[in-house]
Amino acid sequence: MKENNNKTVGILILVIIAAFVLPWRNINWGKLSFQGETVVVTGESKTKQKNEVASFSAGVNVIKEKKEEAVDEVNKKINELITSVKDFGIPDEDIKTQSMSIYQQQEQPRYLSSGDPNKVDEWVVNNTIEITLRDVSKTQELVDLLNKSGANNVYGPNFRIEETSDTEKGLVDSAIADAREKAEIIAKAAGRKLGKVVNVSEGGSGISYPMYSKADGLGGGAAVEPGTSTISKILTVTFELK
């Protein structure tokens, strides 16, 4: 037991010394630890994939003194919007209600010519739909359509990737290779050789989508490009030390 502890301490001392000698500053080591006769290293792999889907949120908001009038106007405008989106080529399953609200808000008193206050509680009615566009080459056309519609609350496009499972599987090998490269440097610096993989665990995966400012999308009239998103895979790999 004492001999194993001395080996572990010796490895740690060599790694610390090597950290100051070798040019490793640009390497992202991630998680790094020694557990007995093993070394644990985090490997990461990234790739870019073209965005396949664009989503929009389009809503109609109306404020009127009479509830019925507000509801009728919202229904009329949202139905016209849905019809125009369907005519554009969006199928029923890619148009869904995102939110609906009807409430009464208290307004400040309005003063008549006689000076008497006339307090009016107005009705606020909103209906918002979510639109999914699966042909991103038509994004700019849909942007133009929504800009000309009766919707007064429009957000998007938000681009995303529809399916990432196959891409993530392809990143596993390269993430393990990245971990092995780091572990081999450490083993060499410690005067040891790297052995077999003892354990692999999921350290995380994610997708980084592009961010657009208002000028890039609906607000500025500039051409909208779907761009790419970054898919990443992180694995924690335990290697045997010989």
Tens digits of residue pLDDT in 213-234: 443 444 444 567 888 888 999 9
Q: Which long-range contacts (CB under 8 A, 24 or more apart) does 168-174 make?
A: 168/205, 168/231, 168/233, 170/47, 171/45, 171/46, 171/47, 171/205, 171/231, 171/232, 171/233, 172/45, 172/233, 172/235, 174/45
At residue 106, the pLDDT reads 73
- The domains found in the chain, sorted by start residue, are 2-49+164-241 (3.30.110.170), 53-160 (3.30.70.2970)
- Of 147, 105, 107, which Cα lies nearest the Cα of 126? 105
pLDDT tens figures, 189-217: 888 999 999 999 987 777 776 655 443 44
Q: Are 55 and 46 in contact (CB under 8 A)?
A: no
Report which secondary-structure segment, H or E, holds 111: strand 110-111
Alpha carbon distance 124, 69 (integer Å): 11
At residue 75, the pLDDT reads 96
Average pLDDT of the chain is: 81
Beta carbons within 10 angstroms of residue 102's beta carbon: 13
pTM (whole model) above 0.85: no
Please list the residues that pair with 153 across neighbouring strands: 59
Alpha carbon distance 87, 98 (integer Å): 20
On the CB side of 111, how many CA atoms lie within 13 Å of its CA? Answer: 3
pLDDT tens figures, 33-90: 555 588 999 999 999 989 999 999 999 999 998 999 999 999 999 999 999 999 999 9
At residue 217, the pLDDT reads 44
